[in-house]
Amino acid sequence: MSNDNPSNRNMLVKTYFQGRFDIVPEAILIVVGTWIGAERYDRILAQLIKRVLTNLDIEAEIMTDTYYNEKIEKYGKNPMIGIGSTNYITKKYLEEGDFGLTDRETTAKVFTENKPLIAFIYGGGVKETYEATMDFCKKKLIIYLNKWSSIYTGGKKKIEIPSNIDELLTEIVTTMSSLPSAIPKEKGNDQKAVFKEPALQKELAKYKFYLVMALSFIIACLAFLASFYSTTTIWIGLGIFLAIIFGIPTIYSIHPKK
């Protein structure tokens, strides 16, 4: 005898994966670029912001700049957050100069007087864009959402950024296992580093270590050769000084604390 009660899996497919999709007018659109760098880095940061908004019970959707531009008549009135300076939408405002945006700077700016409500987050590189995103979530998001509430909900929805926003961001980033190693470590009080150190940086630190050791060895040899002169103490002191000043920090950079 067959069981008429649908399984949890079937219920999920019927209620969620129905192939229909719509975006409400108050949903915040997070727009990223369409090239591979934006997909690898900026989309991850967009996911971070979306998770923060979801925790605040605010609907948010991520879309590419190409799709947003194609559907501008449909979604142009939605509040928008643009991530990345290579984002077509961000680039457009950069070129027009209407908002005083500057290329290659680390920026997290909210424009509350604009309709629709917009914000831009970008930097001169991956690290800078990440830092701008964290700055936005910690300091600028409350400004953005208060204006969002005023425009799109008539002020009915009260926005309260959790007091533990730092811990929340760290937790979100930690659980995003696909984060690229190119983004540097984010350290907090008594918190473990979240990101892996870039391989190139470790290689450079290794070569720096070898260079310092070689120089120290050369200086030690010179000190030995000069052992019959009064400059012996100076050479030895210089060798020890260089080894301490350059060697210890370099060793620490290769073998950081866990």
Task: Quote the pLDDT of residue 102.
Answer: 82
The model carries a pTM of: 0.62
The DSSP letter of residue 12 is H
Cβ atoms of 101 and 124 within 8 Å: the answer is no
pLDDT tens figures, 178-212: 444 444 444 444 444 444 444 445 555 556 667 76
Q: How confident is the model at residue 258 (pLDDT cuts 50, 70, 90)?
A: very low
How far is it, in rounded angstroms, from Cα 94 to Cα 172? 30
Of residues 56 and 172, more confidently modeled: 56
Give the pairing type, strands 28-32 and 80-83. parallel
What percent of the chain has pLDDT above 70? Answer: 62
Instruction: Specify the 3-state DSSP secondary structure of 75.
Output: helix
Task: Quote the pLDDT of residue 189.
Answer: 44
**Mean pLDDT, rounded, for 118-137:** 90
Mean pLDDT of the chain: 75
Residues in the chain: 258
**Mean pLDDT, rounded, for 109-122:** 90
Task: Quote the pLDDT of residue 120.
Answer: 93
Residue (of 187, 120, 118, 109) closest to 151 by Cα position: 118
Task: Quote the pLDDT of residue 191.
Answer: 40
pLDDT tens figures, 67-102: 999 999 999 999 999 999 888 888 888 877 777 788
pLDDT tens figures, 131-165: 999 999 999 999 999 999 999 888 888 888 878 78
Both tokens of 99, joined, read 């908002």
How far is it, in rounded angstroms, from Cα 133 to Cα 70? 26
